[in-house]
Amino acid sequence: MVKHQFVTVDPDKCVGCRICEYICSLHKDKVFNPTRSRIRVIRVYPTTNASLTCRLCEDAPCVIACPRKALTQSEENGVILIDDDLCNGCGWCIEACDFGAICLDPDKKVVRICDLCSDRENGPICVEWCPDEALELTTKDILSQKARIDAIQRLIKAAEASK
């Protein structure tokens, strides 16, 4: 089984500069407009920044929810593909996405989802351009390993603090 990669953010490194949004919109639509981006920066009060992109879910809810079958998932890399001719912008896929990673193109009224810059040999342009190296390609397995390591480190710190 292919391990699907997706873009993740390290919130400790992300400064919220939004370069990822601008470079994505420039690469995909030839405009500097974050509303046309396939990646979204969100701020969580007071100081945390995070980026949202498609997580390439298995049995993707967005694909299942689309009443017009405009969304399909690549078996090769898990990327969600959009048929602009079939998409009518109804938003069912947006509602179905657990990660808030799907947006509606404000001009064309069709949905947009990160495709990992599949037209580029070097992978996602947002990862390449992030000045703080906060974005990276990863898999669910690697993310799970990092979460376990983080949990163990917190337990060790808590144990040391209680001595």
| CATH number, domain with residue 153 | 3.30.70.20
**Average pLDDT score over residue span 123-128:** 97
Domain count of the fold of the chain: 1
**Which H/E stretch holds residue 128?**
helix 125-129
Instruction: Answer yes or no: is 107 within a domain.
Output: yes
Instruction: Answer yes or no: is 117 within a domain.
Output: yes
Instruction: Answer yes or no: is 34 within a domain.
Output: yes
Instruction: Answer yes or no: is 106 within a domain.
Output: yes
Instruction: Answer yes or no: is 1 within a domain.
Output: no
Calpha distance 16→108 (Å, rounded): 27
Instruction: Answer yes or no: is 154 within a domain.
Output: yes
CA nearest to 106, candidates 86, 125, 91: 91
Structure confidence at residue 1 as a pLDDT band (50, 70, 90): very low
What is the reported pLDDT for 51? Answer: 86
What is the reported pLDDT for 73? Answer: 96
- Provide the residue range defining the domain that includes 83: 6-161
Instruction: Answer yes or no: is 105 within a domain.
Output: yes
